[in-house]
Structure 1
Amino acid sequence: MDITNRTVFIVGGTSGIGLGLARRFIAAGSTVIIGGRRNAPIDGLTTVEIDVTDPESVLRARDRVLADHPDLDVVVTMSGVMLVEDLRDPAHFASTETTMATNVLGTIRVIDAFTPYLIERGAGTIITVSSGIAFLPFPIAPTYGASKAAVHAYTEALRAQLAGTGVEVAELVPPAVASHPDIASTNPHALALNDYLDEVTDLLAEQPTPNEILVNGVLMHRWAERDGTYAELVAQRSKALAGLPGR
């Protein structure tokens, strides 16, 4: 896709990968609006308040963005939470509900809010955000992996249903990215944020846009089953379960 001279709404763009991606679009010449649960200005960027777990909040944000930016042609939906769960303790279900409400239902709400507009426009791009964990589970965050697998499957179906409308659908599939100091300190294998964004920017600019935006660091996750490394890698990742209370 042409990442210059676009008008982009990034939902969940107030920090981390989303904020970094916003800056890359701006550097390329695009206009960017950031959506988050707070609408305080960030580095001079235009922000819109949106809570993806609240249907009315999503519709209000849509109406404001389209009123101010009727040329909107890219929607990125990346709001998400990743919570540790102990599946031996039924109390984990609260985390399950929070994760699914944000990562899956929130993603669908944002897509539903903007899809009719983009179809009527006859052009545009929807970018969803899954995870390498959608393809290679991290057992200490089970619902997170399930939610991202759901986003992947939903994105595939969305692409098929929007074929011929002029609206393209791409899926960003991040590996572990050091988008926050806590991640960098706890996961030495996490990809540096700027390195990740360098690869993502190049992939997004390809013509045609890849269906899946796969940086080198996520290929081991995406193709683990194909490459015969799945069971070994899941076993390695299961070692983190030892950190749960009582294990």
Structure 2
Amino acid sequence: MKTTGNTIFISGGSAGIGFAIAKKLSDGNNIIINGRNQERLQRALAELHNAIAIQGDLSLESDRIRIANELKNNHPEVNIIINNAGFAYSYRLDQTTNVHEKALQEINTNYIAIIHFTELMLPHLLQKETAAIVNISSIAAYRSHPLIPTYSASKAALHGYTTALRASYTEHPNLHVFEVFPPLVNTDFSNEIGGKDGIPPSEVADELYLGLEKNQVEIPVGMTKKVTQVIHEAMAKLS
């Protein structure tokens, strides 16, 4: 997959992992960042080049449709979408009520919204000479944690969807489907679960860049590499 000459849409691109990815890919590419907060988007743009912003909340169906239409109509050169925006609650199942309400919000943002936005953009991407969908997953897709139980479940669902999406479009060699698996990352997003002890967001961005360059469709980061190695070795023994 080429790493320059692209126009890349990054959801959740004003902070954390999304912003680090925007910085890493801004050399040689045109970047469109998305986020809910206009002021935060403007602060991010001040530190980027070759970048513009589209404000909106992709967890809302109306915003997903509006943003997809804006990309297709006003930025038809878009050929990569990076589904990075996410949401998480930190709590314990044995100490919390109304778990289903928290799970509903996480599943909507981390899974349903990504499926719908991807569905809206797919016909456009399939027309491109080279295109990619990048889903930012998590080590939690493989290994749940008692402090983020339903977030972990939402990422496991995203992993299953991404794998099936990739398999469904094998006859379209112009479309690449990537999945990135960060471990704990030091961002505001992960502050409640000890994010200060995590890796820097730039490490995730660096690994994504290398993965795109090598056309490595599953991209483990940090300690996730050990987890995926164990899984792949176990699967190899079963096959």
TM-score using structure 2 length: 0.85
Q: CA offset at residue 190 of structure 1? A: 1.1
Rounded to whole Å, the distance in 2 between the matches of 1:83 and 1:181 is: 10
Rounded to whole Å, the distance in 2 between the matches of 1:139 and 1:186 is: 13
**CA 1:122–1:185: 2 relative to 1, 3 Å:** closer
**CA 1:82–1:224: 2 relative to 1, 3 Å:** farther
Equivalent residue for 1:121, pick from 115, 128, 146: 128
Q: CA offset at residue 8 of structure 1? A: 0.2
1:47 aligns with 2:53: yes
Structure 1 runs of 4+ aligned residues shifted over 6 Å read: none
Task: Name structure 1 gaps, 5 residues minimum.
Answer: 229-247
For 1:230-241, list aligned pairs within 5 A.
none
CA contact (8 A) 1:204 1:213 kept: no
Q: CA offset at residue 92 of structure 1? A: 2.1
**CA 1:141–1:30: 2 relative to 1, 3 Å:** same
Please list the CA deviations of residues 80-112 of structure 1 after superposition, one character each: whole Å capped at 9, or x if unmatched.
Answer: 112123323332222111111110111112111
CA contact (8 A) 1:75 1:125 kept: yes
Q: CA offset at residue 68 of structure 1? A: 2.3
1:205 aligned partner: 213
1:102 aligns with 2:109: yes
Rounded to whole Å, the distance in 2 between the matches of 1:113 and 1:21 is: 23
CA contact (8 A) 1:7 1:72 kept: yes
1:35 aligned partner: 34
**CA 1:187–1:114: 2 relative to 1, 3 Å:** closer
Equivalent residue for 2:84, pick from 78, 81, 90: 78
**Could you tell me which amino acid in structure 2 is paired with residue 97 of structure 1?**
L
Please list the CA deviations of residues 54-95 of structure 1 after superposition, one character each: whole Å capped at 9, or x if unmatched.
Answer: 112111111112222211110111111121233233322221
**CA 1:39–1:181: 2 relative to 1, 3 Å:** closer
Q: CA offset at residue 36 of structure 1? A: 1.3
3-state SS in 1 of match to 2:98: helix
Rounded to whole Å, the distance in 1 between the matches of 2:203 and 2:24 is: 12
Number of residue pairs the alignment of both structures matches: 225
Q: CA offset at residue 226 of structure 1? A: 6.2
Rounded to whole Å, the distance in 2 between the matches of 1:161 and 1:198 is: 28
3-state SS in 2 of match to 1:34: strand
- Give the superposed CA RMSD: 2.3
Task: Name structure 2 gaps, 5 residues minimum.
Answer: 235-239
1:175 aligned partner: 183
Q: CA offset at residue 187 of structure 1? A: 4.5
1:69 aligned partner: 75
**Could you tell me which amino acid in structure 1 is paired with residue 148 of structure 2?**
A
Q: CA offset at residue 189 of structure 1? A: 4.1
Please list the CA deviations of residues 185-212 of structure 1 after superposition, one character each: whole Å capped at 9, or x if unmatched.
Answer: 9346411223333333222222xx1111
2:198 aligned partner: 190
3-state SS in 2 of match to 1:177: coil
Rounded to whole Å, the distance in 2 between the matches of 1:84 and 1:6 is: 36
Rounded to whole Å, the distance in 1 between the matches of 2:225 and 2:169 is: 27
Rounded to whole Å, the distance in 2 between the matches of 1:111 and 1:178 is: 27
**CA 1:65–1:39: 2 relative to 1, 3 Å:** farther
Task: From the CA coordinates, give the structure whose radius of gyration is larger.
Answer: 1
Rounded to whole Å, the distance in 1 between the matches of 2:61 and 2:152 is: 24
**Could you tell me which amino acid in structure 1 is paired with residue 29 of structure 2?**
S
**CA 1:224–1:205: 2 relative to 1, 3 Å:** same
Rounded to whole Å, the distance in 1 between the matches of 2:82 and 2:204 is: 17
3-state SS in 2 of match to 1:90: coil
TM-score using structure 1 length: 0.83
